[in-house]
Structure 1
């Protein structure tokens, strides 16, 4: 029986090991990861298995193979950040990496205010119910003595933002919300843990919801910016070169 269990036990994943090291920032763009022979010895697996796992990272643009030198981490701009495997690794491993957090936050600051503005123009009654239900879930799980309430609060927070994406009634935005969900969750979960005043964060979300409900595109845009600025403050990171603070003209 033990022999059978040993034969069916999954081998260690070199891809996951390296993804954790890269996404957490232990290996930076430009760094070389361990050589194949060293990974074979470390994980007690053959070279073809190591190469297969390295190929997973190559295929999504995270590393590149350089003949005679090994495998090097590519620049963040080269990563296929919307690949489901990459977003999964990001959710699991990127929390300690402020550079990746900043990149995701900058993207959200450039995109989500426009999404909120569009939702304020197009949201149906059903969309508004979905946004409100997610908001109510956030409020009901704002405080708690264990991690369960915190997890539920983050789940409803993500659902709130996804509902706004869907309220645009644009198939690209709606699909993008599903792809971005893991990376959005990563920022939300981390910022909710570190937020100094969760009631203020909840109030910013309420104001965004009310702007969408009242069909106020300009105010929804600014309210979405305020929500994301609160996320940036909670994470203690600069948002980077984004739409935050720009003076815009609304029709």
Structure 2
């Protein structure tokens, strides 16, 4: 049964109005639901208590609740209130929802799943790129790879070249849907310190070697090898830096 809505629900302390508070209200509501502070089936407090708690008008609250409904987190039923939906209904690719999932992912289970999905998508795109890449695209990949070779002792430059290499593989594939989803996953992951984890001492050299293998397969137009090399690289790279004290669990 849904729990009773009540003032002082665990969203945020009462705050003063701000021009960006509508965004903050959405973020706080999403965080409360994703973190489990508010469970599926629970009712959100009415507009009045939420308005007092956030220090905004009822109109701002109403619009904010509509935004989280669009993300699949709640159902608004006239006369019955706003209830939290099960996790299976959430739009996990939504920027705010995915960011919050990663933020509250103490077990790293979400990042484990993200890495698997990203590896599947990017490996397919690597195969497509191997089959249809142009000389210009291959040259661009080679330039990113050369920057990685020259920056083994410059973390910022190495990481930038690494990301550029992956972006070029994706854009060269021509698979716009896979590219869009993979970019969403990658961008949200990069925002998390948990995703960066801890690099082993030889991580950059190993990472470079893995990119060399991907590049060689694409250059030789060997689609299967390019797919296998990309999939192995993404999964192995995550396991190398994954925090060892954490245990994975599902969503």
**1:154 touches 1:185 (CA, 8 Å); kept in 2?**
no
Instruction: Give the whole-Å Cα distance in 2 for the aligned partners of 1:92 and 1:123.
Output: 37
Q: Indicate which of 39, 51, 69 corresponds to 1:40.
A: 51
Larger Rg: 2
Could you tell me the TM-score, scaled by structure 1's length?
A: 0.71
Q: Indicate which of 108, 120, 131 corresponds to 2:141.
A: 131
**1:212 touches 1:220 (CA, 8 Å); kept in 2?**
yes
Matched ranges for 1:153-232 at <5 A: 153-168=158-173, 170=174, 173-174=175-176, 176-188=178-190, 190=193, 191-196=195-200, 197-232=203-238
Q: Indicate which of 93, 100, 118 corresponds to 1:108.
A: 118
> Residues 120, 16 of structure 1: CA spacing in aligned structure 2 closer, same or farther, 3 A cutoff?
same
Instruction: Give the whole-Å Cα distance in 2 for the aligned partners of 1:208 and 1:53.
Output: 45
**1:87 touches 1:183 (CA, 8 Å); kept in 2?**
no
Cα displacement string for residues 37-60 of structure 1 (whole angstroms, at most 9, x for unaligned residues): 443222112323112101111112
Which residue does the alignment assign to 2:242? 235
**1:134 touches 1:160 (CA, 8 Å); kept in 2?**
yes
Q: Indicate which of 85, 98, 102 corresponds to 1:94.
A: 102
Structure 2: state its 5+ residue gaps.
Answer: 1-15
Structure 1: state its 5+ residue gaps.
Answer: 1-5, 241-251
Question: What is the Cα deviation at residue 166 of structure 1?
Answer: 1.8
Indicate the SS of the match to 1:94: helix
Question: What is the Cα deviation at residue 212 of structure 1?
Answer: 0.9
Indicate the SS of the match to 2:117: helix
**2:115 touches 2:235 (CA, 8 Å); kept in 1?**
no
Q: How many matched pairs?
A: 222
Q: Indicate which of 51, 73, 78 corresponds to 1:62.
A: 73
Instruction: Give the whole-Å Cα distance in 1 for the aligned partners of 2:36 and 2:17.
Output: 33
Instruction: Give the whole-Å Cα distance in 1 for the aligned partners of 2:162 and 2:19.
Output: 37
Indicate the SS of the match to 1:80: coil
> Residues 164, 14 of structure 1: CA spacing in aligned structure 2 closer, same or farther, 3 A cutoff?
same
Which residue does the alignment assign to 1:49? 60
